[in-house]
C-alpha cells in the first residue's frame, strides 16, 4: 500500500514537472516565433558592464526589442542595472521612452502607475524585465529594428531601497 502511494506521488510529481517545462518552453517558443516572424527586425543589445557606467544611478538598457506581428505590440526586453551601492526593493511610476539614435520617439508608456512593483536588484547586478507597449503607446509603428546600431532609453521612476 505504501509503495503504491509513493509511486502515485512520484508519477504526479513527474507529470507536473513535465507540464511546467512544456509550458515554459511553449512560452519561449512563442516569443521567439513572434520575433522571427516580424518583418521589422529585432534589435539586440549587450549585457551591462559595471565598468561602463559612472555615478550612483540605475540604468535601463535594451536587451531585445521587436514588434510582434501577431498582436502589433512592441516588446522591450530590458536590463535594469543597479549601479548604486544599495539594494533596490521596488519600483513605481516607471515611464519609459524608447527613441532612435537620432532621438525620434518610437514608443512611450508609464509602467507600475501608482503601484509598487516588488523586485530585488543588488548593487552591481541587473534583472531582465519585459515591458510591453500596446499599439496606443507606439508612435512609430514601422521602425525597422533589424539594422539599428543603438536605441536610446529615457526612463523616469521612483525606486525603493
Each residue's pLDDT tens digit, 72-90: 899 999 999 998 889 999 9
**25 and 46, same domain (yes or no):** no
**111 and 130, same domain (yes or no):** yes
Spatial separation of the C-alpha atoms in residues 134 and 150, rounded to whole Å: 22
CATH number for position 115: 2.60.40
* CA triple 110-113-118, angle to 5 deg: 110
Spatial separation of the C-alpha atoms in residues 93 and 110, rounded to whole Å: 6
**65 and 133, same domain (yes or no):** yes
User: Which residues fall within 8 angstroms of residue 153, CB to CB, at 6 or more apart?
Assistant: 60, 61, 62, 78, 96, 97, 98, 99
Total structural domains in the chain?
Answer: 2
pTM higher than 0.75 for the full model? no
**84 and 153, same domain (yes or no):** yes
Q: Tell me the residue range of the domain where 88 lies.
A: 40-160
**53 and 66, same domain (yes or no):** yes
Q: What is the pLDDT of residues 12-49, one digit of tens each?
A: 444 333 333 333 333 333 444 444 445 778 888 877 77
Residue 126 has a pLDDT of: 92
Residue 141 DSSP symbol: T
List phi, psi (to 5°) of 84: -100, 175
**8 and 45, same domain (yes or no):** no
Amino acid at each position: 500500500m505504501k509503495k503504491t502511494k509513493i509511486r502515485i506521488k512520484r508519477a504526479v510529481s513527474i507529470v507536473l514537472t513535465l507540464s511546467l517545462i512544456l509550458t515554459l518552453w511553449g512560452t519561449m517558443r512563442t516569443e521567439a516565433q513572434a520575433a522571427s516572424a516580424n518583418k521589422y527586425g529585432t534589435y539586440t543589445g549587450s549585457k551591462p558592464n559595471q565598468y561602463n557606467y559612472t555615478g550612483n544611478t540605475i540604468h535601463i538598457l535594451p536587451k531585445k526589442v521587436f514588434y510582434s506581428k501577431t498582436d502589433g505590440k512592441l516588446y522591450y526586453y530590458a536590463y535594469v542595472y543597479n549601479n548604486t551601492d544599495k539594494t533596490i526593493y521596488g519600483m513605481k511610476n516607471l515611464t519609459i521612452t524608447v527613441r532612435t539614435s537620432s532621438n525620434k520617439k518610437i514608443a512611450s508608456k508609464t509602467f507600475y502607475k501608482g503601484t509598487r512593483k516588488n523586485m530585488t536588484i543588488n548593487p552591481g547586478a541587473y534583472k531582465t524585465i519585459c515591458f510591453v507597449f500596446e499599439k496606443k503607446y507606439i508612435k512609430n509603428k514601422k521602425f525597422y529594428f533589424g539594422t539599428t546600431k543603438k536605441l536610446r532609453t529615457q526612463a523616469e521612476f521612483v525606486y525603493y531601497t
